[in-house]
Amino acid sequence: MAEQSLYEKVGGEAAVEKVVEYFYNEGVLKDDTVNHFFKDTDMKKQMEHQTKFISFALGGPNTYTGSSMAKAHEGMNIQPEHFDAIVKHLHDALAHFGVGEAEIGQALSKVGSLREDIMYK
């Protein structure tokens, strides 16, 4: 039997949706380090895009049709402390829903691989 993808291990799309909601509502939007990036953002649309993106990043179906990471973050001038805050909130959201540290590490490694495409744009 094939090994489960990280997406399947965390519980599929429904679980990722819950993680993304928690990520924004309990982490990002309460954090003055990064919440200003979202002040004029349609959060419902943002959460839908993020759910698709994270699902794909975890090995789920590729239904993400948003901009490239570099394009999506163009003009934001994201600095290391901003990127690190987002990574911390994602870690905390995954942990909150019982995802194991090994799987969180895999997920954060995938996110970390996008660092150069996101920062200083």
What is the DSSP code (8-state) at residue 35? G
Minimal CA–CA distance to 91: which of 22, 4, 13, 14?
A: 22
The answer on whether 49 is annotated among ligand-binding residues is yes
Q: What are the structure tokens assigned to 24, written together?
A: 């924004």
Q: Is 82 annotated as a binding residue?
A: no
* Cα dihedral 92/97/103/105 (nearest 10): 0
Structure tokens of 96?
A: 């909150």
Q: Which of 36, 20, 25, 42 has the alpha carbon at shortest distance from 99?
A: 20
Contact status, residue 41 vs residue 29, Cβ threshold 8 Å: no
Q: Which residues are annotated binding-site positions?
A: 49, 73
Q: Which residues are annotated binding-site positions for heme?
A: 49, 73
